[in-house]
Amino acid sequence: MTSATDFDAVVVGAGFAGLYMLHRLRGEGYRVRVYEAGAGIGGTWYWNRYPGARCDVESMQYSYQFSEELQQEWEWSEKYATQPEILDYAEHVAERFDLHRDIQLNTTVAAAVYDEGGDVWRLELDGGDVVTARYCVMALGCLSTTNKPDFPGLEDFQGAVYHTGEWPHEGVDFTSRRVAVIGTGSSAIQSIPVIAEQAEHLTVFQRTPNFAIPAWNAPLEPDEVRAIKADYAGLRAKAKARQTGVYFLSNEFSAHSVNAAEREGIYEEFWTRGGLSFLGAFDDLLVDETANATAAAFVRAKIREKVANPALADLLAPQTIIGCKRLCVDSGYFETFNRDNVTLVDVSEDAIDGFTASGLTVAGAAHNFDAVVFATGFDAMTGSFTRIDIRGRDGLPLNRKWEAGPRTYLGLCTAGFPNMFMITGPGSPSVLASMIQTIEQHVDWIVDCMGHMRDKGQVMIEAELADEDAWVEHVNEAAAKSLRSTCSSWYLGGSIPGRPRVFMPYIGGFPIYVEKCDSVAAADYAGFRLA
Ligand code: FAD
Ligand code: NAP
């Protein structure tokens, strides 16, 4: 494309997004380099090695579809694959498509500065090296920067400190140890039952209870796999037509359109199927508060059936909108609280005061343990961007542009930062859909766009500010219609002190979004300035 840069494109991150981006760009003949902070590829599945870590989109759908051979040859063993199996899959993909040779591991991109004179990005690596590229593709991940609350006195704690998202590779043996887990989101809900089986005692610190639906995980039946593989494209097409990019049986009528007994029967049926598809029981659960309340009441009753101590069940049963915070999928989570070696501490009113040498205190009461697990989540969606010193036109820092919340055109680009693409950026469906599906759609769109520019001899693409503003307004309007924007969650930067309260992903649904992206491309990249 040009010999004046080190690379045509630099990709930051080697998770599923970075890997597929590399494969596509190299296939189109571009000179590409991927930089990855970790010592291995796989992103989420490289970092999150905590006990019990799995996907909660079914394995047969939580996988790439770009290669028919790949999806035919890979064998998932369970309905929901474990973290090691997903990481093996990422490694298999990297080897099968010979990706490793263009990936530089153990390398954090510290800064990315746009040089207006040459329409070139200069990237500064943590070792001090600088590389240049025409395009900078941010494949940073939406859930890749951990959130570690700044508890006073943590440095005095004499025990071991872990975060689910930075789990030691050698594993952790909790046998005979008193363990604390802070947080009750998806990572906690997956890890707590496993840690409880090993630890001498487990204390869980809960600020907000969460709804969880049983996974009913099981080995995959060969007949089921054969049937899917006989028409994988058919399943993918059905998934693509769904709001969430995942196919499962769902109803297209209101919770109010049936009587109470019928409604209960339908919830029971969806409970028995398990997992995230529970919210497909009726089509108004995320838009109608009274409809949602019927689903929430059903799940609360289930929690009460599972937890022997009624007072404990009350603490564990959320009184909030189901699906407002991301729904969790569990395997024996609530039952774990029936164990003699598990204690729940409610920190909703009295927050954790801070740490001591032997544990932490809540309202002055000491809780002592040998190890603490932070299951406190991520600085989601924008955290990995804010950690890079990204500067666009006139030296404008991205952090300043996004001070009041992220602003993008289609979650793909942001005005003032030409030739910088984001994969699953804020303002795209990303985390509200099955992510490998959304990653492939973004990567394909970006590669097509670059091909269009190459054909026309263009070297610069930038989102128009007016189109970006209109898109942001649309993203906000869509969010306002959903119950999902009504509570504190990581979708809104909820757990990060000081983050502006902005609903970051696009909630209008995957099919509408794909249609919008395709129509923009078909109209010669309407809303972008190309030069
Ligand atoms: P990541 O996998 O997050 O990869 C981004 C990479 O960029 C990381 O390796 C990071 O080290 C690197 N990076 C970031 N900043 C820099 C920098 N400055 N320099 C160099 N490298 C950098 N989604 C689903 O759809 N279904 C699921 O079941 C599901 N389960 C999940 C379970 C867990 C525990 C978590 C945390 C997330 C889960 N997700 C799930 C979301 C998951 O993040 C995505 O599915 C997908 O793996 C994201 O891929 P990615 O490549 O976009 O980002
Ligand atoms: P999370 O959902 O953000 O949960 C973090 C938990 O930590 C919350 O319970 C939060 O409480 C608590 N917390 C944060 N700061 C705290 C503080 N100072 N004091 C006490 N509690 C505090 O993070 P996560 O569980 O890692 O999950 C993040 C996302 O990753 C998920 O929603 C999902 O998209 C993905 N994921 C998926 C799976 C899967 O099953 N496939 C597994 C793990 C993660 P509040 O709610 O009160 O803020």
Please indicate, yes or no, if residue 313 is contained in any of the structural domains. Answer: no
Same domain, 384 and 507: yes
Same domain as 17, residue 141: yes
Closest ligand 1 atom to 57 CA: 28
CB 376 within 8 A of CB 147: yes
Total count of domains within the chain: 2
83 lines ligand 2 (CB under 6 A): no
Cα gap 229→147, rounded to integer Å: 39
Q: Quick one: which of 471, 433, 513 has its CA closest to 142?
A: 433
Same domain, residue pair 362 and 480: no
**Residue 355, token pair as written in the block:** 């740490």
Q: List, chain by chain if needed, residues with CB within 6 Å of any ligand 1 atom.
A: 12-18, 35-38, 43-44, 46, 48, 53, 55-57, 62, 108-109, 139-144, 187, 384, 388, 423-424, 434-435, 439
Tokens 């746009």 belong to residue = 114
Which residues constitute the domain of residue 491? 7-145+380-530
Cα 357 to middle of ligand 1, angstroms: 34
pLDDT of residue 495: 77
- Distance, in Å, from the CA atom of 136 to the CA atom of 393, rounded to the nearest integer, reads 14
Does residue 79 share a domain with residue 29? yes
CB 85 within 8 A of CB 203: no
Say whether both 373 and 510 belong to one domain.
no
Same domain, 346 and 418: no
Domain with 193 in it: what CATH number? 3.50.50.60
Using CA of residue 385, residue 80, residue 86, residue 38, what is the dihedral sign? positive
User: Tens of pLDDT along 275-320?
Assistant: 999 999 999 999 999 999 999 999 999 999 999 999 999 999 999 9
If asked whether residues 141 and 179 sit together in one domain, one would say no
Residues 139 and 12 in one domain: yes
Measure CA 387 to chain center: 18
Contact assessment for residue 414 and residue 398, using Cβ atoms and an 8 Å cutoff: yes
Tell me whether residue 338 is in a domain.
yes
Q: Are residues 126 and 182 in the same domain?
A: no
pLDDT for res 2: 44
34 touches 223 (CB < 8 A): no
CB 271 within 8 A of CB 213: yes
Phi–psi pair at 417, nearest 5 degrees: -130, 70
Beta strands 103-104 and 109-115: pairing type? unpaired
The answer to whether residue 365 is domain-embedded is yes
Task: List CB contacts of 19: < 8 A, sequence separation 6 or more.
Answer: 34, 41, 90, 93, 94, 97, 99
Instruction: Report yes or no on 309 lying in a domain.
Output: no
Whether 348 and 442 share a structural domain: no
Inside any domain, residue 505: yes
Domain-embedded: residue 222? no
Which helix (H) or strand (E) segment holds residue 100: the answer is none
Place of tokens 């609903």: 503
Alpha-carbon distance 435 to 64, whole Å? Answer: 10
385/504 same-domain check: yes
pLDDT at position 498: 86
218 occurs within a structural domain: no
Q: Which ligand is nearest to the CA of 185?
A: 2
Please give the Cα distance from 34 to 289 (Å, whole number): 45
Same domain? For 405 and 344 the reply is: no
DSSP secondary structure string for all residues of 208-267: S---EEE----BPPHHHHHHHHHTHHHHHHHHHTSTTS-------S-GGGS-HHHHHHHH
Model pLDDT for residues 69-83, shown as the tens digit of each residue: 999 999 999 999 999
| Separation between Cα atoms, residue 197 and residue 338, nearest integer Å | 12
Mutate which of 48, 65, 144, 146 for ligand 1 pocket (most atoms within 8 A of beta carbon): 144
Q: What is the dihedral of CA 318, 259, 274, 166, to 10 degrees?
A: -30
C-alpha 13 to ligand 1 mean position (Å) = 9
What residues contact 180, with CB distance under 8 A and at least 6 apart?
A: 202, 203, 204, 205, 359, 360, 367, 369, 371, 372, 373
Residue ranges in the chain whose pLDDT is less than 70: 1-3
Rounded (10°) CA dihedral 518, 521, 526, 531: 160
